[in-house]
Structure formats: C-alpha cells, structure tokens
Amino acid sequence: MLIKVTKEDIELGVPDHYYECPIATAINRSTLCSAGVSEYVTIMRDNERIVHLEKHSRLVKKFIKHFDKTGKGKPFSFKLKV
C-alpha cells in the first residue's frame, strides 16, 4: 500500500509524538487502523489487537529523524507492506 505523507500531515504533525507524527497521520488517513510510529517501527492496531508491525525503510527513518529535530519536512510517499 502506498502511503502519501502530505504537506498538511507535516504541518499538523508533532515532533517526537508516537501517534501524532506526520507518518502516523498519513497511515491513519489511508487505512482503518490506528498507527503509532517510533523511530524504528510502525505499529498498526484495529480496535482489539495489533494487526501489523513493520520496520522502517531508510527513507522513513531519515524523515523521522529530521522531523523530530526540526518539526519540518517535505511531502513524500512510501510503501507499507500491508
């Protein structure tokens, strides 16, 4: 599944916040799950359980590190292996 992190996701995102980072917001918008994103993994849950756990690509890790330091970033897309 292609996830698009938009300018709006970035503007609304909160640095160092597991559930409110731009990537979690983009995943939540694109799926029926609730996503939590750390520097290393994405965890997706439905109402009852974890439904997907995935390590990040280099591109996603780079975005997270930059966003957490500066609160800024450029829109991008990445594939989520759901």
Q: pLDDT tens across 7-58, in order?
A: 999 999 999 999 999 999 999 999 988 999 998 899 998 888 888 889 999 9
Task: Report in angstroms the alpha-carbon separations of 43 from 68, 70, 71, 72, 78.
Answer: 18, 24, 22, 23, 16
Helical H segments across the chain, by residue range? 7-12, 22-30, 58-70
* pTM (2 d.p.): 0.90
Paired tokens of 37: 């994103």
